[in-house]
């Protein structure tokens, strides 16, 4: 057989490839529209299926039925934890004050220490940004845990709208996202542990007569130079990744009759996203307003495999 050459694969954009600090992601930048809106939501990855739909594209004369793989994300209602007020400084944004919600769940004690006495804090007179700290309710799902995730979500709007979010008992997914819109997906990828350079970077195997092993690179380079560009063994997976412009095909509030392998039944509202998203089943996924705006044509779903 002819000898094939396969150079190392993998972008140096994501470097170093370290493990993520938490099992759920944090979002560093938010796209803020002009209206009052919460800029994100949190759900749990259920699994994949497929559906058929017809897209109402005015540029196409005869609409064609399209087959598309989908990812199902269960979205139980979120609960507000606190409002955070930020002010920009020369060292970045800093928290001025934080106002806690008056209706906190007891399940939060599994995650953090709750204050014994509620101290009323006043709203600051001047601030640059407001964000809402929310926590999930995994006890409403079948994923088998009760400890909630606490994640910071951006807010677009005035102070009165932020106060109304803090006073809410629950926040539902249909209040934040709309059908047939694009969202950005933030998730922690599936962890694969410590792997060698062949699996981690796609380095081709050496000849069986080669010295000091087959599943390794031929040379690590100069002794004195830094060899961080050479494919080494190390952590693979469990990294924070963002995928832009994933289309929300449908938001459904009805329960699914059938369960999913290694997940169980979907008991809450769920979102159908076009294509695949990173992370294994039962992992927390953050859906946010898209940073890169994109127009979506309306669709008519003909059939869904549930």
Quick: pLDDT tens for 234-243: 999 999 999 9
Please report the pLDDT score of residue 141 as a whole number.
94
Please report the pLDDT score of residue 161 as a whole number.
93
Please report the pLDDT score of residue 8 as a whole number.
77
Of 26, 134, 33, 32, residue with least CA distance to 75: 134
- Spatial contact of 47 and 72, defined as CB atoms under 8 Å apart: yes
Please report the pLDDT score of residue 225 as a whole number.
75
User: How far from the centroid of its chain's Cα atoms is residue 221's Cα?
Assistant: 38
As given in the structure block, the two tokens for residue 87 are 């002010």
Q: What is the pLDDT of residues 70-84, one digit of tens each?
A: 999 999 999 999 999
Please report the pLDDT score of residue 148 as a whole number.
96
Q: Considering the domain 37-114+124-191+237-304, what is its CATH architecture? A: Beta Barrel (2.40)
Please report the pLDDT score of residue 274 as a whole number.
96
User: Helix (H, G, I), strand (E, B), or coil: what is residue 139?
Assistant: helix
Please report the pLDDT score of residue 222 as a whole number.
82
Please report the pLDDT score of residue 2 as a whole number.
65
Q: Which DSSP letter does residue 166 get? A: H
pTM of the predicted protein model: 0.92
Please report the pLDDT score of residue 1 as a whole number.
58
**Residues of the chain predicted below pLDDT 50:** none
- Spatial contact of 144 and 210, defined as CB atoms under 8 Å apart: no
As given in the structure block, the two tokens for residue 301 are 């779903």
**Planar angle of CA 121, 124, 126, nearest 5 degrees:** 175
Distance, in Å, from the CA atom of 167 to the CA atom of 39, rounded to the nearest integer, reads 17
């Amino acid at each position: 057989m002819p000898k094939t050459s396969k150079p190392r694969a993998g972008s140096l954009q994501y470097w170093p490839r370290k493990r993520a600090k938490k099992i759920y992601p944090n979002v560093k930048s938010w796209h803020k529209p002009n209206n009052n809106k919460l800029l994100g939501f949190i759900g749990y990855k259920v699994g994949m299926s497929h559906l058929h739909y017809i897209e109402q594209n005015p540029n196409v004369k005869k609409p064609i039925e399209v087959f598309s793989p989908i990812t199902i994300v269960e979205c139980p209602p979120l609960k507000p934890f606190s409002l955070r007020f930020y002010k920009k400084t020369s060292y970045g944004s800093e928290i001025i004050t934080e106002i806690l919600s008056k209706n906190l769940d007891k399940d939060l004690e599994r995650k953090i220490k709750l204050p014994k006495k509620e101290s009323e804090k006043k709203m600051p007179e001047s601030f640059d940004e407001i964000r809402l700290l929310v926590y999930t309710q995994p006890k409403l799902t079948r994923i088998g845990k009760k400890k909630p995730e606490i994640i910071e979500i951006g807010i677009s709007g005035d102070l009165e709208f932020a106060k109304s979010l803090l006073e809410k008992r629950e926040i539902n997914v249909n209040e934040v996202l709309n059908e047939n819109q694009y969202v950005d997906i933030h998730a922690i990828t599936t962890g694969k542990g410590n792997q060698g350079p062949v699996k981690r970077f796609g380095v081709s195997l050496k000849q069986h007569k080669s010295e000091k092993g087959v599943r390794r690179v031929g040379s690590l380079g100069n002794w004195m130079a830094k060899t961080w560009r050479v494919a080494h063994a190390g952590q693979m997976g469990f990294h924070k990744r963002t995928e832009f412009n994933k289309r929300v095909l449908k938001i459904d509030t009805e329960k699914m009759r059938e369960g999913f392998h290694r997940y169980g039944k979907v008991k809450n509202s769920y979102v159908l996203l076009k294509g695949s998203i990173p992370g294994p089943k039962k992992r927390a996924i953050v859906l946010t307003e898209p940073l890169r705006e994109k127009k979506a044509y309306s669709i008519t779903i003909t059939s869904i495999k549930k």
